Amino acid sequence: MKLIETVLAADNAFVNGLIGAETFGENNGLFKGNAEGLITTGLYALLGFAGIIGVCALVWGGFLYLTAGVDEGNAKKGKQIIIWAITGLMIIGLSLLITNVILSTFMSQG
């Protein structure tokens, strides 16, 4: 049980350091029924999940490309997966930037 508590505390500290403590937990009103906090947390969770999928696709494409050997089909497939994964990660990064700008604009007005 102590191991689970330690892992969860480390994960919470990592997330707070990554996107700022004000966007998670009680600091933004999520646990008080605040819709703004719920939307903020949901957006960050969705973008984080999409980022994980993008990195997994990048690793899979690299694996296919590196293990293709003389098989041109797998090499081409691996290259395409890598290209689309990088494109997706760039779109996710821009989405995170746009989300941060929009949220900081609305939060500073209220």
Specify the long-range contacts of residues 3-11, CB closer than 8 Å, at least 24 apart: none
Sign of CA pseudo-dihedral 8, 12, 14, 19: positive
Q: Which domain holds residue 17?
A: 2-109
User: How far apart are alpha carbons 7 and 9 in whole angstroms?
Assistant: 5
User: How far apart are alpha carbons 39 and 44 in whole angstroms?
Assistant: 9
* Number of structural domains the chain divides into: 1
Tens digits of residue pLDDT in 26-57: 554 444 456 677 777 888 889 999 999 999 99
> According to the model, what pLDDT value does residue 7 have?
45
Alpha helices in 20-71, H assignment, sequence order: 35-66
pLDDT band at 9 (very low <50, low <70, confident <90, very high): low
**pTM for the whole structure:** 0.64
